[in-house]
Amino acid sequence: MAAPVIQFKRGLLSNLPGLRAGEPGFTTDSYDLYVGIDSTTANNQFVGSGRYWSVNSSTVGSGVNLVEGTSNGSSYITLKSPDSLAGIVTYTFPGTDGSNGQVLATNGSGTLSFIDAAANLNMAGDSGTDTVALLTDTLTVSGGEGIDTAVTNNTITISAEDASSSNKGVATFDATDFTVTSGDVTLNAERIEDIVGAAITTGTQTRITVSYDDANAQYDFVVDNDLANYDNTTSAFITASSTATLTNKTFDANGTGNSLSNVEVADLAASAVVTAAEGIGSNNNDTTLPTSAAVKSYTDSAVSGIDLTITTAEGTNGTGGGGGSVATSQTMTFAGTTNEIDVTVSGQSITYGLPNDVTVSNNLTVSGNLYVNGSTTQVNTSTTTIEDQLLDLGFVDGSAPSSDLNKDIGVLFNYYSGSAKKAAVYWDDSTSRVVVSSDVSESSGVLTNNTGGALEVASLYVNGCSGTTDEVIGCDGNTIVITNATIDGGSF
C-alpha cells in the first residue's frame, strides 16, 4: 500500500515562527528540524539537522559531521563509517591525549591507545631485500616488461599491459576464431569452414549455384535446369524465344505451367467454329466453339419468345395472405400499407419507403444504427434496458461540438421530497468540473447546484498528478486509509 506524503511547515531559518505544541517546522536553508512547545519562537525545540551527519546509502556508509562555528553546514569534517561492515564494531578512545608524533592503535578488541609510530619498513622480493625509513624515505614501486604501476590516493595499482608484437603482456582471443581452455589455444574448425565457404560462394559461377550448409559443414552445388537460360543457337533445345513448327504433336495446355496464347480464329479448323445462330441450334456437340456474334444472335432470338410469369410468395413471416402469378400480358400492382409503407413507381424503378409519420403497432427491431434528428426523444416505458457500454452525450447534429455551447451536460434524477425535485451528476461547463447535486434547477441547458449531493464510494482514485491513476482514499478492514496523497503543512 502506497503511503501518503506529509510535508512539514517549512521556510528560511530567519522566518521560523513560534510553532504550536507538537507542530514540526523545517528550515530550508540550514536543514534544521524544530518542534514547537507553546507557540513562542524562543521555545521551539531543535530536534536535528542534516548539517551534522552524512546519510548512508546502499553502497556508501554514513558519517558524523563536525561543523565549524560560523558554518551553516557547507564546511565540516566527517567521521565516516566504512561502506561495508561485517557486524557491530565499537571503538573506545583513551581518556587523555598522547605525545607529539604518537598515533592511535587498537588492541584488537576496539580499545584505542596512543603509541609511537613505526620508523622502518622491511621488504623482501624475488631478488634482494631492503629497509625503508617511513618518515624520510620514498617507497618506489616499478613495473617490469608488460607490467604497469600507478599510485593514486595512497593506492598502488599494478596491472598488465596489452600484448603487442614487440611487448609481452595480456592478450585476448576472438571466440569466433579460437577456443582457449586452461591456457590451451585451439583454432576453431568452424571458422575455417566459414572462410572457405565465403570464398567459394562469392566466386564466379556460370549456370551453377553454390551455397554453404553451415549446420552440416558442407557445400551444395546446384546446376541450372531452366532451358530458357541457355543459348538456343548452340543447342537443340526449343526455348520460350524459339520459333518452330510442331507436326503431329499433342500440346497439353492444361498441364502445370503450360499456356496457349495469341491464337487467331483463322488458325482453327472451319469445322470447329460456329459463326451463325443457326449453327448453335443445330450443332449440339462438344467439339465446336461459337463466336460472340453467333451467341448474341441466338440469345436475342431466344429471349424475344419468352412469356415471363412471376409467382408471389405465400404471405410474409408466416402470416398468410395468399399467393398468385403474373404473366407478361398482365399488370402487376405494388401496394403499400397506410402509415407503414409508401410505394412509388417511376419508369422501370419501384421505390419502397416509410411515410413521414410511421406507426408501428407491434415490436420494432433495428439491426443497424438508429438516428433521431428531432428536438425531443420521449420513451414512455417502465423499464429501459441499454446494452451499450458508453453513452456519448453533448453531440451537435451527430458530431462533437466545434465551439463552446456554454451548456452543462449530465444526467438528471427526478424524485419527491416535500416537493418534486431533481438530483444530478453533470459536467459544469462554467467551472470545468463534475458536480454531484441533490437539488438542481435548469434554465436553457444550464444547471444550478442548489444543494450539493453526497458521494458514497468504497475507494477514491485520482488521475493525472503523476501520469498514473492512484487510490487516495480506501478501506483497510474497518479503517479509512489515505494513501498516495500529500498533506502540505504550508510555508513560513
| 294/289 Cα distance (integer angstroms) | 10
Digit-coded pLDDT (tens) for 13-37:
899 999 988 899 999 988 889 999 9
d(CA 310, CA 293): 31
pTM, to two decimals: 0.38
DSSP string, 348-378: TEEEEE--SS---SS----SS-----SS---
Q: Convert the pLDDT of each residue in 316-353 to its tens digit.
A: 554 555 566 666 566 777 788 888 888 888 887 888 88
Nearest one of 431, 433, 428, 432 to 445, comparing CA atoms: 428
CB 436 within 8 A of CB 412: no
In this structure, the chain runs to a length of: 492
The residue that leads in pLDDT, 251 or 341, is 341
Residues 6+ apart with CB under 8 A from 78: 54, 63, 64, 65, 66
Q: What are phi and psi of 461, to 5 degrees?
A: -115, 145
pLDDT at 479: 85
What are the pLDDT digits (tens) for 373-425? 888 888 888 898 988 898 889 888 888 999 999 999 999 999 999 999 999 99
Max mean pLDDT among 248-252, 268-272, 424-428 falls in: 424-428
pLDDT one-digit tens code per residue, 297-316: 777 776 665 555 555 555 55
From 195, 162, 166, select the one nearest 187 (Cα to Cα): 195
Average pLDDT of span 274-302 = 71
pLDDT score, position 414: 94
Q: What is the residue-wise DSSP string for 254-302?
A: TSTT-------GGGS-GGGEE-SHHHHHH--SSS-EE-HHHHHHHHHHH
Query: What is the distance between the alpha carbons of residues 81 and 89, in angstroms, rounded to a whole number?
Result: 10
In whole angstroms, give the CA distance from residue 114 to residue 102: 6
Q: Which of these ranges, 248-262, 298-312, 340-354, 434-448, has the smallest mean pLDDT? A: 298-312
Whether 34 and 25 have beta carbons less than 8 Å apart is answered as: yes
Residue 400 and residue 392: Cα distance in Å, rounded? 10
> What letter does residue 230 receive in the DSSP assignment?
S
Predicted pLDDT of residue 284: 66
109-168 pLDDT, tens digit each:
999 999 887 777 788 877 888 887 766 778 888 888 888 888 888 888 888 888 887 888
The residues that bridge with 464 in the sheet, in sequence order, are none
**Mean pLDDT, the chain, integer:** 81
pLDDT at 310: 58
Q: What are the residue boundaries of the structural domains of the chain, listed by start?
A: 1-56+457-492, 403-454
Q: Look at 26-40, 267-281, 470-484 and tell me which has the smallest mean pLDDT.
A: 267-281
Look at the alpha carbons of 191, 194, 196, 199 in this order and tell me if their dihedral is positive or negative: negative
Please name the residue that has the C-alpha cell 622491511. 122
* CA geometry: angle 198, 204, 207, nearest 5 deg: 115
In this structure, are residues 371 and 398 in contact, taking their beta carbons and an 8 Å threshold?
yes
Which residue(s) pair with 330 in the sheet? Answer: none
Look at residue 6 and tell me whether its pLDDT is greater than 90: no
- Model pLDDT, residue 200: 74
Cell of 7: 510535508
Per-residue CA distances from 141 to 149, 150, 157, 203, 347 (Å): 7, 8, 10, 58, 113
Give the bridge partners for 122, in sequence order.
Answer: 131
Q: Would the pLDDT of 372 be above 70? A: yes
Phi–psi pair at 459, nearest 5 degrees: -145, 155
CA 318 to chain centre: 54
pLDDT classification of 446: cutoffs 50, 70, 90: very high
Assess whether pLDDT exceeds 60 at residue 463: yes
pLDDT at 435: 96
Answer yes or no: is pLDDT of 278 > 70: no
Listed range (66-75, 240-249, 381-390, 405-414) with the worst mean pLDDT: 240-249
Between 190 and 386, the more confident residue is 386
Please report the pLDDT score of residue 318 as a whole number: 45
